[in-house]
Structure 1
Amino acid sequence: MGCHALQRVALACAMIWTGSVAAQPQCRNLSEHDLESLGRLTFEDGVSAGRKPHELALGATDGSLIAGEIRIVQQPIFNTDLPDEDTWLFRRANQLHVDTREQVIRDLLLFKPGEALTAEQLAESERLLRDRPYLYDARVLPRRVCGDAVDVDVVTRDVWTLLPRLSFDRAGGDNSYGIGLSDPNVFGTGKNVSMGYTKDRDRSGVDFLYEDPNVRGSRASFAVFLEDNDDGSRQLLDVRRPFYSLDARYAWGLRLDNVDREEGLFLLGSEVSKFRHETVFSESSAGWSRGLQGGRVGRWKVGYTYEDHTFEPLPGVVAPDPFPVDRRYAYPWIGYESIKERFETTRNFDRFHRTEDLNFGKRWAARLGWSDEVFGADDVSRLVLRGGYTNVNHVRETHLFRYGFNLNGFWNFDRDEEENLVANAFARYNHARSASRAFSASLGVTYVRNLPVDRQLLLGGDTGLRGYPSRYQQGDKRFLLTLEERFFTDIYLFRLVRVGYVFFADVGRAWESDTPGGDEFGVLANVGIGLRLESMRTRRDRILHLDLGIPLVDGPDVGSVEITLRIKQRL
């Protein structure tokens, strides 16, 4: 072989070698965690700071990144590597628990291998996972960038979800209880099934709920709820594809809800009349959006709503005077919603020692409709009015201020006045004095106009005035001011339940110029102390409130102490 031939072969080999080297993507590690350390990741050690860590990890890009390998790391309920959790009971619980299926977690993510990937998708996927009641917490961590492909680790921890429905609730002197079985993550599928028996002051009966939030791995949801009570029944069907993410482009929904039951009117905590009320409700809707653009989302929705209310007197029971009049609304409508995306994470705002997602951006929505006989309504023409606004601000680093309002009602053209109008305004201030102490103040104001006879604006122990009987005052105006000094202790009972306590004061009033339940007794107030318990090992939307309220203003049927025991979704 000649010299030139050898040179050509050498050059070709060099080109092939350098080309193969150039073809190898340059990889950059974004996380120091391996699989073993991810399995030991302690969610309590820190708070993911929203989207910023993902932006920093991915760095400045031109939007051309795609998702690479996605690893799912599922932690057990109890970490038996810790001496306090290495017990026979906790090991047995881990063995008996059916872990959430990996595909269920993958279906919730907003990205798949080979698809475009952004920091916003990583952060929102983490929020979607954290919103599920069967997960204690979640982290979505970019692990490595190789060329334009980003490998991602998804870390979750399950909670125990199969629980007996043994409940007892006491508010304003009224007791209720329930027994049954519920599981929001049946066999690890993410499906929710609940059945049981409940009894309260108004009624008793059995109920059944089935809910699939991601039908066959899709973004569509399906729910059915059945209730059979001693005074009536309820049948609910809800099928929809919601705006499941900020960047979702379309939505649709169908809801059917039939309710038949006995209802009463109240004054000073006592039922003064009763009647039968049957409601037939249906609504279909469709929506579209351009997605998340410049940190803001705009959504249009159109739909049709049918709502029929009929009333009958009950034999042998005092009926309201005047008696409720049948009414039927049927209307097409159009609505718009605007969301400014500014999510951040915090703790000890609504939960105990858990990551909470708060949107510090403005959100408002409005809906207009026309109810008329031509659309299936009664013979009254009405303009349908719906609207709302919420916002959260950082006054200072440790000071949060949440406020907003909403409006719901009609304009009756036959009478040329408002009808069934309810307007609410609210504000809440939270000051985190330290990691173990916070001050919270909330104020709610409600004004109603021309409510139908069957509806009341009430205030009492069941609506936040913890030192007084339920449904004590009524009127067309109401305010409630609540002040709480909250303490988050380090007590962790049996490695299961977090413990906190509060000192509180409630001040409120519901009034109307011509009702004795309003003006005669004026502003009511109480002070008290409360205990807060939240399980860290069961579904994340349950907090037990045990409050001891002492009324400061006397009145008929007001005791010296009122005990309230309730299960709520937030502090």
Structure 2
Amino acid sequence: MIHRRVLVGVLWSMCLPWRTAAGQEVRANGQKQPPVSSRGRLPVTGCAGQPISDIIVITQPPFTERLPTRLEWVRRTVRRTHANTRDDVVRRFLLMKVGEACNQIRRAESERILRAQPFLVDARIRVFDDEAGGVRLEVETRDDFSLVFEPTLQSKSPMVRGMRFGDSNLGGSATLAAINWRDGRAYNDLLGIDLANYAFGRGRNEFRLSAQRNRFGQDMRLELVRPYYTDLQRYAWIGSLGGTREPMEFRRGALPRNALTVRREFANIGAVSRLGSVGRLKLLGASITREVQRTDEQSLLLTREGVIADTTDAAVPTFRPQRVVRANALLGVRAIRFVQVQGFDALTGAQDVRVGMQLGLVAGRSIVVRQARDRDHFVAANLYGGYGGTRSFVGLQAVTEARYDRDAKVWDNFVTSGRLAWYFRPAVRQTTVVESEWSAGRDMRVPFQLSLADREGGIMGHRASSQAGARRLVLRAEQRLVVPTRLNVADIGFAGFAEAGRLWAEQSVPYSLSTPWRGAVGVSVLAAVPPRSRRLWRVDLALPISADPQRRFEVRFSSVDRSRVFWNEPRDVQAGRERTAPSSLFTWP
């Protein structure tokens, strides 16, 4: 666990830069003055090697345009309570400085990196002739709505079962701070805190801290990473550690669900460096990882009244403990360019999709360190491919890993998953998305099951399903339509969707079954607040189509930004993976 003084010091260092920078600016100028735009005063030009004489940063609040009279109070309230992203924070993501030659590639990459930040809606970098032989860069950004307010509701009393509350851009410092609470009923209430700084240490580094008490355990993670943002940077690195204790529940068909408590500890430190030219290069590096895992043998039933012993006659699966330290080689191959599109994963917002190919490989061998005496090899691969443009785009990502036991001389812990998706925009206000997601696990070292009930990887209308499998295939299709509005408060849209999925059994996965195809159809109400935000708010109404006795009509509320990465792996798949594979070095868009 992290020492309390160290944690306090890290949190203070996250807050100190924006406090001191803001204070110095106010003291120097007496009053903070907004920068003046060059539009209409200086001629527009392009980057062609001219010296950069000045860089002006203009940060805008979520609502920049005036609203109708009856809604103008919304804009005024947001402006009063919202802190614009600070000038110095925006500058940390720029790849150019005053005095350097203006380079078009660096200008475009700086704009793309800013546009991908979760606290911004959009970013533009314009170039103006300063009429003295140089150029003046004007960086303009618009903030996303920073209030985090996500209640968990139910139809019966008490209606409020949980809450997530915080700010996603605290003080304009690119810092997410949120607290979580959820009613645990007969168990501990869920209490947690999430902190993330996307410009940590006055650089393009990301700091993440998550600490949570679950209803039957805890989960703590700390990560500091310098992602591979662009081919123009030389290196990327990662350091992480954490620990979890939580029950893994098994769906057993007609029998009540049982659970085994799983304890895990993990740590990882590694780095990669660039070899080759921009746009077609290799990443080469190394990492040291530590993984400890132990699964209790006692089976429990987590009932509404509390924990009771499992007295059923069903066999209880057992899992071997793991304690291993590995030295890993990291290899990445990239041939990528970026295309700016609109209305793909967001309702109308802009995002940059990767066109080309990217492959990340990890190969590790265990080393004996103190009590870590497991002998194995570990391999993992992360493949991405994308093709298309602003009207039609096809993307594929697949992630696979496995472990070779050097003592038993067998392969185990096979985990694979992936996504294939096609985006098509026949008109400005219409988007069609057709996708397929697959997942599988075999010969697992940790408790593992897949189901159609999973919120992220399953299908709607089957949240109460009691059947589980070892392999899962889900097909989805959605047609979205954006509705024109003059209110300037939000973008509004509607969607119709259909999805289908099925499971397959595998002898090595406990209680797994093969199921027929099950499906759901429905309609959705969509919104983006403020307009062109990449965060998509949804209200989905789904009617299940299957013979599953636990099927039911479902109304689902969600709010998510899927524009930063092509695919987020479902949680039930992540539960079976090694916690230390540094995939984030290769998957940043």
Structure 2 counterpart of 1:156, from 104, 121, 141? 141
Q: CA deviation at 1:153?
A: 0.8
* Equivalence for 2:331: 336
* Equivalence for 2:182: 198
Q: CA deviation at 1:296?
A: 2.2
- Contact 1:421–1:450 (8 Å) recurs in 2: yes
- Name the stretch that deviates more: 139-148 or 230-239: 139-148
Letter paired with 1:508: G
Q: CA deviation at 1:392?
A: 1.3
- Contact 1:473–1:511 (8 Å) recurs in 2: no
Structure 2 counterpart of 1:73, from 52, 58, 61? 58
* Equivalence for 2:163: 179
- Distance in 2 (CA, whole Å) between partners of 1:206 and 1:359 is 37
- Distance in 2 (CA, whole Å) between partners of 1:408 and 1:377 is 25
* Equivalence for 1:391: 385
* Equivalence for 1:441: 434
SS in 1 for 2:263: strand
- Distance in 1 (CA, whole Å) between partners of 2:539 and 2:169 is 28
Q: For 1:90-101, list aligned pairs within 5 A.
A: 90-101=75-86
**Structure 2 segments unaligned to the other structure (5+ residues):** 1-35, 301-306, 564-589
* Equivalence for 2:260: 275
Q: CA deviation at 1:464?
A: 3.2
* Equivalence for 2:348: 353
Structure 2 counterpart of 1:365, from 360, 373, 376? 360
- Return closer, same or farther for 1:213/1:79 CA change in 2, 3 Å cut-off: closer
Letter paired with 1:297: L
Letter paired with 2:258: S
* Equivalence for 1:308: 292
SS in 1 for 2:79: helix
- Contact 1:241–1:251 (8 Å) recurs in 2: yes
Letter paired with 2:502: R
- Distance in 2 (CA, whole Å) between partners of 1:502 and 1:543 is 12
**Sequence identity percentage:** 21
Letter paired with 1:261: E
- Distance in 1 (CA, whole Å) between partners of 2:267 and 2:490 is 41
TM-score (norm 1): 0.80
SS in 1 for 2:107: helix
- Contact 2:494–2:523 (8 Å) recurs in 1: yes
* Equivalence for 1:526: 520
Q: CA deviation at 1:67?
A: 2.6
- Distance in 1 (CA, whole Å) between partners of 2:286 and 2:261 is 33
Letter paired with 1:228: R
Q: CA deviation at 1:382?
A: 1.8
Q: CA deviation at 1:306?
A: 0.6
Q: For 1:158-307, list aligned pairs within 5 A.
A: 158-168=143-153, 177-199=161-183, 204-268=189-253, 272-290=257-275, 293-307=277-291
- Distance in 2 (CA, whole Å) between partners of 1:295 and 1:147 is 34
Structure 2 counterpart of 1:139, from 124, 133, 140? 124
- Distance in 2 (CA, whole Å) between partners of 1:453 and 1:333 is 21
SS in 2 for 1:360: strand
Structure 2 counterpart of 1:565, from 557, 568, 572? 557
Q: CA deviation at 1:364?
A: 1.1
* Equivalence for 1:481: 475
Letter paired with 1:307: E
TM-score (norm 2): 0.78
- Distance in 2 (CA, whole Å) between partners of 1:256 and 1:516 is 32
Q: Residue deviations 1:223-261, cap 9 Å, x none?
A: 322212331222222223333432111233221111122
- Return closer, same or farther for 1:243/1:404 CA change in 2, 3 Å cut-off: closer
SS in 1 for 2:308: coil
Letter paired with 2:361: A
Q: Residue deviations 1:436-480, cap 9 Å, x none?
A: 222211112223221235111222352231132356442222211
Q: CA deviation at 1:376?
A: 5.5
Aligned-residue RMSD, C-alpha: 3.2
- Contact 2:38–2:138 (8 Å) recurs in 1: no
Bigger radius of gyration among the two: 1
Q: CA deviation at 1:75?
A: 2.5
SS in 2 for 1:121: helix
- Return closer, same or farther for 1:180/1:464 CA change in 2, 3 Å cut-off: closer
- Return closer, same or farther for 1:154/1:443 CA change in 2, 3 Å cut-off: same
Q: For 1:408-427, list aligned pairs within 5 A.
A: 408-427=401-420
SS in 2 for 1:316: strand
Q: CA deviation at 1:272?
A: 2.0
- Distance in 2 (CA, whole Å) between partners of 1:556 and 1:115 is 67
- Contact 1:447–1:477 (8 Å) recurs in 2: yes
> How many residues are aligned here?
508
Q: Is structure 2 residue 122 aligned with structure 1 residue 130?
A: no
* Equivalence for 2:46: 57
* Equivalence for 1:42: none
Letter paired with 1:567: S
- Distance in 2 (CA, whole Å) between partners of 1:223 and 1:547 is 31
- Return closer, same or farther for 1:453/1:101 CA change in 2, 3 Å cut-off: closer
SS in 1 for 2:468: strand
- Name the stretch that deviates more: 175-184 or 345-354: 175-184
Letter paired with 1:418: W
- Contact 1:269–1:470 (8 Å) recurs in 2: no
- Distance in 1 (CA, whole Å) between partners of 2:168 and 2:390 is 36
- Distance in 2 (CA, whole Å) between partners of 1:355 and 1:85 is 29
- Contact 1:370–1:382 (8 Å) recurs in 2: yes
- Distance in 2 (CA, whole Å) between partners of 1:310 and 1:98 is 46
* Equivalence for 2:530: 536
- Distance in 1 (CA, whole Å) between partners of 2:260 and 2:347 is 42
Q: Residue deviations 1:255-286, cap 9 Å, x none?
A: 11111222211234975211221111111112
- Contact 1:444–1:481 (8 Å) recurs in 2: yes
- Distance in 1 (CA, whole Å) between partners of 2:167 and 2:353 is 27
Q: Residue deviations 1:496-555, cap 9 Å, x none?
A: 332222221111111116687633x422122222222222269x5532232222222212
Q: Is structure 2 residue 301 aligned with structure 1 residue 317?
A: no
- Contact 1:169–1:566 (8 Å) recurs in 2: no
- Distance in 2 (CA, whole Å) between partners of 1:325 and 1:306 is 17
- Return closer, same or farther for 1:203/1:417 CA change in 2, 3 Å cut-off: farther
SS in 2 for 1:103: helix
Q: CA deviation at 1:332?
A: 0.7
- Distance in 2 (CA, whole Å) between partners of 1:302 and 1:524 is 44
Q: For 1:440-479, list aligned pairs within 5 A.
A: 440-452=433-445, 454-460=447-453, 462=455, 463-470=457-464, 472-479=466-473
- Contact 1:545–1:565 (8 Å) recurs in 2: yes
- Distance in 1 (CA, whole Å) between partners of 2:184 and 2:560 is 17
- Distance in 2 (CA, whole Å) between partners of 1:203 and 1:489 is 44
Q: CA deviation at 1:203?
A: 6.8
Q: CA deviation at 1:419?
A: 1.1
* Equivalence for 2:37: 35
- Return closer, same or farther for 1:307/1:470 CA change in 2, 3 Å cut-off: farther
- Return closer, same or farther for 1:251/1:430 CA change in 2, 3 Å cut-off: closer
- Distance in 2 (CA, whole Å) between partners of 1:391 and 1:191 is 32
Structure 2 counterpart of 1:404, from 388, 393, 397? 397
- Return closer, same or farther for 1:99/1:222 CA change in 2, 3 Å cut-off: same
Structure 1 counterpart of 2:106, from 118, 121, 138? 121
SS in 2 for 1:341: strand
* Equivalence for 1:4: none
